[in-house]
Amino acid sequence: MKDSDVLERISRGDERALDDLYRKYYKMMTGIIIKNNGTEEEAKDIYQDALIVFWQKVISNQLVLTSKISTYLYSVCLNLWRKELDRKSRETNDDQDFDFAYFDEDTKEREAIIRECINQLGDTCKKILMYYYFDDMSMQDIAEKLGFSSVDTAKTKKYKCKKRLDSLVRAKYSASDFLD
Amino acid sequence: MANNIIHSEFLDRYLKNKLSEAERMAFEEKARQDPLLGSELNFQKDIYKALGEARKNALKSRLNQIPVNEIGWYNGYSIKIAAAVSSVLILATGTYFYFNHTAEEDLLSGVVNIESNITPDDHLHQENLSVPVPKKDELEQATVETFAVEKKKNIQNEIVTIPAEKKTEAGEKNNSKALLPDITRPELVTDFEEETQGVNYKDFEIPAEKMMEHTLYENAGLDVENIVHHQYNFHYQMIEHKLYLYGNFQDTPYKIIALNFDEGKKLFLEYNEHFYRLNNKQQEIASLQAIEDSVLLKELKKISTKK
């Protein structure tokens, strides 16, 4: 599995390339976290996050890779782990009551509402919106991946799906008084 | 203003951070002055963020379905492992002939004995490895002579040139581990110390049972391509050691399992908790047939779920 093949496969949204990468460097990357005082579960979580960062950057053409994929993943893993250690350190040092005082219940509730609304969408709608907004795939690629007859069909579907999601969220926000 | 913006490409570009600095600042300034637009912008940011989270969770769920117990042990270190596994395969095959056992379980056990006349298996050249070819008289001594000679030719054709410094390094390692063949690792990441990679080569001197756990390896060294076809929706074909899977294999992870029988390596596909036989020589497109042999199924399940 050459790096160039992986990049090419990810660029066209082949999620199995991510599976292959995951398997290939699992031991190496999780080993780094574990050696730096992480648990196996934390290591797995960080490694998955790093892979997803890599996935998003490649698929949205934001990454010009000048090193090996493993080197890139290694540095992302370490950065993410450093951040996590910082967060844990702050959590330990800060006064717990202080945290609670700034605990934003509203934000959490809004997030939960949107999550629920996304789950109410059909599978195709969910995929279109996730591919468009997170993966930043072109409408052409989305049309091909989801088997739409044309780019225009993909555009129309994206428009309708987004409109439906907005409506669902607005309705729930209204019911929860978020739109007052 | 807000209504025009909501479903515009401009807003999408803003959310994706694709506006120029000037455009972004101007837009945010406008949103500050127009409370309705400001509120709408926050609403859209929340949705954008949630869609991202949903996608991340979907990808994480996918990755979480990939069994990790049997992976990583060999990844990146395929040469020595491949050599070790090959020796186990050969030994297991020889043991099979010697004791004339028929149960597949017997093939999955055996004593690990890493010999110098190791002959690499198929997956070695899938990993682009360079493997020394045993001398003819050594081959004759091998338990599975025909197998070894056939592979010799293939391996010679697929040797990969590697940088001189790596060859030297590999050679040094070979001297210190005389029982392992001189194999180089072109795919190995050189950015980390061996220790960081977490591999202890002593691991190879381990009980046979543990070794055989790893006859289940990543895609069995196969190059796999998924093809969506209107007519073939659950089919496969094998061309030049590349597996073409026809059908929707995008959404559910699958696994290729290699088992070693007396007549050679056999491949199986695990998909949606079912197992399918893959014929190495299946050049025509054929439908995937679920395995019904209960003994084989039991063995496949055992290997697939082995912790």
Per the CB < 8 Å rule, is A16 touching B48?
no
CB distance from A146 to chain B under 8 Å?
no
Residues of B in contact with A141 (CB under 8 A): none
For A166-178, write each residue's pLDDT tens digit.
999 999 888 776 6
B194 and B108 in one domain?
yes
Nearest chain A Cα distance for residue B140, angstroms: 33
Considering the domain boundaries, does residue A68 fall inside one?
yes
CB distance from A118 to chain B under 8 Å?
yes
What CATH number is attached to the domain comprising A165? 1.10.10.10
Q: Is the dihedral of CA B240, B246, B252, B255 positive or negative?
A: negative
Please check the confidence at residue B17 and state whether its pLDDT lies above 70: yes
Phi-psi region of B223 (alpha: psi -120 to 50; beta: other; left: phi over 0): beta
Single-letter amino acid, residue B40: E
Residue A164 has a pLDDT of 94
Give the total number of structural domains in chain B: 3
Last residue of a domain, one of A70, A98, A126: A98
B289 and B176 in one domain?
no
| Nearest by CB: B66 against A22, A111, A170 | A22
Please check the confidence at residue B136 and state whether its pLDDT lies above 60: no
Per the CB < 8 Å rule, is B196 touching A169?
no
For A91-134, write each residue's pLDDT tens digit.
777 655 555 545 577 788 889 999 999 999 999 999 999 999 99
For A126-144, write each residue's pLDDT tens digit.
999 999 999 999 999 999 9
Per-residue confidence band for B241, with pLDDT thresholds at 50, 70 and 90: confident
Residues of A in contact with B66 (CB under 8 A): 19, 22-23
Per the CB < 8 Å rule, is B51 touching A51?
no
For A45-85, write each residue's pLDDT tens digit.
999 999 999 999 999 888 888 889 999 999 999 999 999 99
A109 and A131 in one domain?
yes
Residue B256 has a pLDDT of 82
| Nearest by CB: A25 against B52, B63, B75 | B75
Residues 7-36 of chain B with CB under 8 A from chain A are 7, 12, 15-16
Residues of A in contact with B55 (CB under 8 A): 130-131, 133-135
B166 and B90 in one domain?
yes
Q: Residue B83 sits in which domain range?
A: 78-210
Give the total number of structural domains in chain A: 2
Q: Is the dihedral of CA B202, B203, B204, B209 positive or negative?
A: positive
User: What's the rounded Cα separation, in Å, for the pair B5 and B23?
Assistant: 14
Per the CB < 8 Å rule, is A35 touching B198?
yes
Last residue of a domain, one of A51, A66, A98: A98
Residues 50-79 of chain B with CB under 8 A from chain A are 50-56, 58-60, 62-64, 66, 68, 71-73, 75-76
Q: CA torsion A15→A50→B56→B68, rounded to 10°?
A: 60
Single-letter amino acid, residue B30: K
Considering the domain boundaries, does residue B281 fall inside one?
yes
For A2-48, write each residue's pLDDT tens digit.
888 999 999 888 999 999 999 999 999 999 999 999 999 999 999 99
CB distance from A42 to chain B under 8 Å?
no
Last residue of a domain, one of B31, B64, B97: B64
A59 and A18 in one domain?
yes
Per the CB < 8 Å rule, is A163 touching B50?
no
Residue B57 has a pLDDT of 93
Residue B78's closest chain A neighbor by CA?
A: A24
Last residue of a domain, one of B193, B210, B227: B210
Residues of A in contact with B256 (CB under 8 A): none
CB distance from A55 to chain B under 8 Å?
yes
User: What's the rounded Cα separation, in Å, for the pair B244 and B235?
Assistant: 8
Q: Are strands B242-247 and B223-227 parallel, antiparallel or unpaired?
A: parallel
A119 and A94 in one domain?
no
Residue A15's closest chain B neighbor by CA?
A: B250
Considering the domain boundaries, does residue A33 fall inside one?
yes
Q: What is the ipTM of this complex?
A: 0.89
CB-CB contact of B204 with B82 (8 Å): no
CB distance from B103 to chain A under 8 Å?
no
Q: Where does residue B33 rank: exposed (0-12), middle (13-18), buried (19+ CB within 10 A)?
A: exposed
A39 and A90 in one domain?
yes
Q: Is the dihedral of CA B186, B190, B193, B198 positive or negative?
A: negative
A30 and A66 in one domain?
yes
Q: Residue A38 sits in which domain range?
A: 3-98
Residue B154 has a pLDDT of 41
Residue A143 has a pLDDT of 94
- Interface mutation target, options A133, A142, A148, A158, chain B, most CBs of B under 10 Å: A133
A82 and A16 in one domain?
yes
Q: Count CB neighbours of A164 within 10 A.
A: 16
| Nearest by CB: B51 against A20, A52, A129 | A129
A67 and A39 in one domain?
yes
Residue B264 has a pLDDT of 73
Question: In this complex, how many residue pairs, one in chain A and one in chain B, have their CB atoms less than 8 Å apart?
Answer: 130
